[in-house]
Structure 1
Amino acid sequence: MEFSHDDNNNLPLTKFESMLKTNHVLFFDSEEFENIIHHYLNQGKIALAKKAIKLGLDQHPSSITLKLFKVEIYVFEDKLTEADTLLNELYLLDPSNEEIFIQKANIFSKKDEHEKAVEVLKKAVQLTDDAVDIYSLIGMEYLFLDKFEEAKEYFMKCLEEDLEDYSALYNVIYCFEFLDQTEDAIQYLNVFLDKNPYCEVAWHQLGKQYYTLKKYKKALAAYDFAIISDDSFIGAYLERGKVLERLQRYEEAIENYNITLKLDDPTSFALLRIGYCYEKLKHDDLAVQYYYKTVHEDPLLDKGWIAITQYYKRRKNYQKALYYINKAINIDSENVKYWKLYSVINQRLNHFEEAERGFKKTLELGNYELSTWLSRGDLLIKLGEPEAAIYNFQQASEFYPENAEIEYRLAGLHFSLNETDKGTFHLKNGLRFNEEFGFIIDELFPEVANKLLVKNLLKENQ
């Protein structure tokens, strides 16, 4: 029984805490100790739980339940050997106690021995009249093993016992989604809703499955039923807003997002989506206002800063776009998306050194897209740094071997440095990989394109 601070059930707890402040040891029956320990564990007050266990076992040394609490503490503190030893002793005393098996499974799980944990939990199922919690534990162990079919089966068993076990329902759908079984998930949810037609969680999940299949009208209907079942269900309004956006019904989408703002504190997601909708409706002033609200609500949300930056970039107001992407970088200097956008904007402003620095930072942060290597290399060419450009493209070729765009650039660079043999090598590679990219020589290296050797090599492949 859980103790509450607003009723008389907390009398043993009050008495226990009063006892701790004095030298007087008071007597409690074992059930009272169990409730006290359970309360402290739920509150995360481990030190007080340990005190209660010790005093409880001093007064009731044969209590298996109190000793199982001791096992639980051992497991929590990663004292798995001590926990295992005590469990073995308890098994000899009470071999049909399912809690002993559950704790044994917990130890196996802690050791990443999930198959053994499942085996032990299946034995526990045979010993109990209330198997729901154990089914859930078995399902979780199968998740650890990436056995999603088996996990799904056991979470379904939970729902067969308790239709309102929403945690199990979420886990069932998670398994369906991981296995890409969207149609099966829809079929399961429809059967489930036949039994529990006012389950807002199931309607919400059904809507998400239809959304995945781009069946937006069916998704909308599912979210409508979720809202009928619970008109304060924020998740349903948010998802309904997303569907309405897909259907280009932007005013209605805004209405749904606004409802979520009234039901609870504003979320950056809802504010951002409202901004997108207003932009689609050509209400630019309102759109940008909501983008500002988004970053004010959550300065760490990159989508908010990107939305503002892209807003000004689309309107060719590159100075303002640069101002906001710089603010974003000052908040999170390790965000790859920020640096890439920073580089593109600086390019538009002809700030080539800054753009190159941005692409370099993007690569340092692990963005190895071909376009990043090519953009940085082309900027280095423009900045008159051929050696640095060659090194950039050599690195790029490690990620993208046999890439014609890289080979033509290396050819042009080596020819421009009068390294004829290297230039010829890379030009022949480029022609072999894809002769259609030969225009790169003309565009980036016009002086090289006029060289007789280069002209002849290009003509041979026409």
Structure 2
Amino acid sequence: MQLSNEEEDYNLSLSKFESMLKTNKVLFFDSEEFEEIILHYIDMGKAALAKKALKLALDQHPKSTGLKLVQVEMLVYDDKLEIAEKLLNELYAIEPTNEEIYIQKANICSKRDQHEKAVEQLIIALQFTDDYADVYNLIGMEYLFMDNLELAKESFIKCLEEDFDDQSALYNVVYCFEFLDQNQEAITYLTKYIDKNPYSEIAWHQLGRLHYGVKEYQNAIRAFDYATLIDDEFLGAFMEKAKAYERLKKYAEAIESYERTIELDDATSYALLRIGKCHEKLGNKALALKYFNKTVHEDPLLDKGWIAITDFYVRQKNYQKALFYVNKALAIDNQNRLYWKRFASINKQLNFFEEAEFGYRKAVEFGDYQLDTWLFWVDILQFLGEFESAIQTLLQASEYFPEENEIEYRLAGLYFMIQDNTKAKFHLSNAMRLNFDNYIIIEDLFPVVWTKKMVQNYITKHKKL
């Protein structure tokens, strides 16, 4: 590739400077050359070389405002704010119309968390700058620090009006729209932006994301298509497009997009997992399992991969294998209530009731307060003959579901089992008040209780009421 004259001069200056360091010969550079060399080392994270270059530069050009401003930037970077501020005041006395002085003053204010003062300095910089886009971008960042998303958004929009190609400002303006929950407004803005700048793959990608966020999946796919037409190696756009196809249940197209991400980069466990799930939806069971296994091979610590295999075997009713794989997931994340619930239901299918009871207990312990979880847990406690524990569990569940007939019927049955007829009748009365027809729960779960004449009479009496 042919280098421009500027690039050649820059590379030559850098090479000449590094040669000077090796030979200890002092060579002359103009001040702008030094500025570029110093900024290069700052960008590379080579602070020691940047400082060495700055010292040599100031020796050769002691009155250069540009170099002193670079010195200020380095002082600010090193948190030597008072020294930087003093030097800036000296430069201000010499060049009060130099916008970089106000930008660096703003930088110091920002470092001190004085973001409003930083904005004031940047507004002054606007009077003297030719690079409005850069200053508006900096103002936007200060407003972000102040959590003033509306003014930040306005500043980033002004930045983009000055420089359509500023990608960081584009990302930031979309971020502000999203944070303010203005997705439709963001779509309108990006549509207008694209009208003026139709070859911005970033804009198309962000537009696709926004359409996806408001569940306009077909529009999202259209936007991602444009992004990938402009840049056929845009991995993120292919990934997002695949997710949109999944939402539309177009699993073959989703697989195609996920596979494109694997062609562009090393296979990710996420893409492999999604391909597996798409194949399962298409009924390609062997391929689904193949990709689930690839997922855990790629990332053995991805618990979602092991759970995908677990769920696959549950659907096949192969509970022994499902149990093996759910244990793999729990070994990685043993505080996941959904995994414990799976563990419990699988053990229940295998008639391992003590293990199932433990699983439901752990699921609730880690925050699963779904009604069915409580009821499954209680029914197993009852099956194991642990009536008192079952009662305590139901009373705990009733705090979350105070008017639930299924809880009340079970409490009635359990109290009858332990011969506490007063409490049993109280809860049976509650249950029938909430849903009389569900008294069949007593017949199904407590056949011994159901046969009692006292219970039959109580239900019949309530029915007449």
> TM-score band, normalised by the shorter chain?
0.7 to 0.9
Name which of structure 1's ranges 175-184 and 421-430 shifts more when overlaid on structure 2: 421-430
Name which of structure 1's ranges 416-425 and 152-161 shifts more when overlaid on structure 2: 416-425
Identity of aligned residues (%): 57
The answer on whether the counterparts of 1:223 and 1:240 sit within 8 Å (CA) in structure 2 is: yes
Report the 3-state secondary structure (helix = DSSP H, G, I; strand = E; otherwise coil) of the residue aligned with 1:126. Answer: helix
- Alpha-carbon shift at residue 377 of structure 1 (Å): 4.6
Structure 2 length-normalised TM: 0.80
Aligned residue number for residue 286 of structure 2: 285
**Structure with larger Rg:** 2
Distance in 2 of aligned mates of 1:73 and 1:61: 16
* Structure 1 position 11 matched with structure 2 position 8: no
Where do 5+ consecutive residues of structure 2 fail to align? none
Aligned residue number for residue 325 of structure 1: 326
Aligned residue number for residue 402 of structure 1: 402
Q: Report the residue type matching 1:254 in the other structure.
A: I
Aligned residue number for residue 272 of structure 2: 271
CA 447–228 in structure 1, closer or farther in 2 if over 3 Å, else same: same
CA 73–394 in structure 1, closer or farther in 2 if over 3 Å, else same: farther
Distance in 2 of aligned mates of 1:84 and 1:454: 90
Distance in 2 of aligned mates of 1:375 and 1:16: 78
Distance in 2 of aligned mates of 1:86 and 1:336: 59
Distance in 2 of aligned mates of 1:402 and 1:47: 68
Aligned residue number for residue 150 of structure 1: 151
CA 119–7 in structure 1, closer or farther in 2 if over 3 Å, else same: closer
Distance in 1 of aligned mates of 2:230 and 2:347: 51
Distance in 2 of aligned mates of 1:116 and 1:454: 80
Q: Deviations over 1:219-254 (max 9, x none)?
A: 333333223222222233223333333444333332
- Alpha-carbon shift at residue 145 of structure 1 (Å): 3.5
Name which of structure 1's ranges 115-124 and 451-460 shifts more when overlaid on structure 2: 451-460
CA 278–17 in structure 1, closer or farther in 2 if over 3 Å, else same: same
Structure 1 length-normalised TM: 0.80
Where do 5+ consecutive residues of structure 1 fail to align? none
CA 217–3 in structure 1, closer or farther in 2 if over 3 Å, else same: closer
The answer on whether the counterparts of 1:136 and 1:168 sit within 8 Å (CA) in structure 2 is: yes
Aligned residue number for residue 169 of structure 2: 168
CA 359–122 in structure 1, closer or farther in 2 if over 3 Å, else same: farther
Name which of structure 1's ranges 213-222 and 388-397 shifts more when overlaid on structure 2: 388-397
The answer on whether the counterparts of 1:438 and 1:458 sit within 8 Å (CA) in structure 2 is: no
Distance in 1 of aligned mates of 2:6 and 2:96: 28
The answer on whether the counterparts of 1:402 and 1:433 sit within 8 Å (CA) in structure 2 is: no
CA 451–297 in structure 1, closer or farther in 2 if over 3 Å, else same: farther
Counterparts in 2 of 1:248-263, with a 5 A limit? 248-263=249-264
CA 94–339 in structure 1, closer or farther in 2 if over 3 Å, else same: farther
- Alpha-carbon shift at residue 211 of structure 1 (Å): 3.2
- Alpha-carbon shift at residue 162 of structure 1 (Å): 1.8
Distance in 2 of aligned mates of 1:451 and 1:80: 89
Name which of structure 1's ranges 118-127 and 48-57 shifts more when overlaid on structure 2: 48-57
Q: Report the residue type matching 1:349 in the other structure.
A: L
CA 197–411 in structure 1, closer or farther in 2 if over 3 Å, else same: same
Q: Report the residue type matching 2:253 in the other structure.
A: E
Report the 3-state secondary structure (helix = DSSP H, G, I; strand = E; otherwise coil) of the residue aligned with 2:128. Answer: coil
Distance in 1 of aligned mates of 2:119 and 2:423: 62
- Alpha-carbon shift at residue 458 of structure 1 (Å): 10
CA 247–365 in structure 1, closer or farther in 2 if over 3 Å, else same: closer
- Alpha-carbon shift at residue 285 of structure 1 (Å): 0.4
Q: Report the residue type matching 2:302 in the other structure.
A: L
Aligned residue number for residue 142 of structure 2: 141
Name which of structure 1's ranges 293-302 and 275-284 shifts more when overlaid on structure 2: 293-302
Distance in 2 of aligned mates of 1:2 and 1:379: 78
Name which of structure 1's ranges 452-461 and 305-314 shifts more when overlaid on structure 2: 452-461
The answer on whether the counterparts of 1:318 and 1:348 sit within 8 Å (CA) in structure 2 is: yes
- Alpha-carbon shift at residue 134 of structure 1 (Å): 2.3
Q: Deviations over 1:335-394 (max 9, x none)?
A: 444333323322322323323333444445455555545544554444444555555556
Name which of structure 1's ranges 232-241 and 105-114 shifts more when overlaid on structure 2: 105-114
- Alpha-carbon shift at residue 124 of structure 1 (Å): 2.7
Aligned residue number for residue 188 of structure 1: 189
Distance in 2 of aligned mates of 1:366 and 1:94: 64
The answer on whether the counterparts of 1:12 and 1:32 sit within 8 Å (CA) in structure 2 is: no
CA RMSD of aligned residues (A): 4.1
Name which of structure 1's ranges 227-236 and 29-38 shifts more when overlaid on structure 2: 29-38
Distance in 1 of aligned mates of 2:302 and 2:125: 46
Q: Report the residue type matching 1:276 in the other structure.
A: K
Q: How many residues align?
A: 458
* Structure 1 position 351 matched with structure 2 position 352: yes
Q: Report the residue type matching 2:22 in the other structure.
A: S
- Alpha-carbon shift at residue 441 of structure 1 (Å): 6.0
Name which of structure 1's ranges 77-86 and 238-247 shifts more when overlaid on structure 2: 77-86
Name which of structure 1's ranges 30-39 and 192-201 shifts more when overlaid on structure 2: 30-39
The answer on whether the counterparts of 1:3 and 1:39 sit within 8 Å (CA) in structure 2 is: no
CA 198–445 in structure 1, closer or farther in 2 if over 3 Å, else same: same
Distance in 2 of aligned mates of 1:29 and 1:421: 99
Q: Deviations over 1:32-85 (max 9, x none)?
A: 543343233222233444455556556666555555555545544555566556
CA 365–142 in structure 1, closer or farther in 2 if over 3 Å, else same: farther
Aligned residue number for residue 244 of structure 2: 243
Name which of structure 1's ranges 317-326 and 61-70 shifts more when overlaid on structure 2: 61-70
- Alpha-carbon shift at residue 446 of structure 1 (Å): 5.8
